[in-house]
Amino acid sequence: MDETYIKVKGTWKYFCRAVDRNSKTIDFLLTAKRDKAAAKRLFDKAMQANGVPEKVTVDKKWCQ
């Protein structure tokens, strides 16, 4: 999982993406708020399309 903020049409948005071990983007989410519900939506959608991953690595900020 990778996350950052980007500016879209003058407004800051939260951009999160799920990547594979080769850094290829599997799925992404662009949302106004950074919250648990948004992360869960991205993760669920990525797993539906690609199956259950062997391992998930997330930024420490997500775990606090």
Residue 60 domain flag = no
Q: Which two tokens stand for residue 49?
A: 């399309």
Residue 60 banded pLDDT, cuts 50, 70, 90: low
How would you write 10-32 as a 3-class SS string?
A: CEEEEEEEEECCCCCEEEEEEEC
Domain that holds residue 49: 2-54
pTM greater than the 0.75 cutoff: no
Q: What is the pLDDT of residue 63?
A: 45
Residue 62 domain flag = no
Question: Has residue 59 got a pLDDT over 70?
Answer: no
Per-residue pLDDT tens over the stretch 20-56: 778 888 888 888 888 888 878 888 888 888 888 777 7
Encode burial over 19-41: b for 16+ CB neighbours within 10 A, e otherwise: eeeeeeeebebeeeeeeeebbee
Q: Which two tokens stand for residue 41?
A: 């939506």
Give the chain's domain count: 1
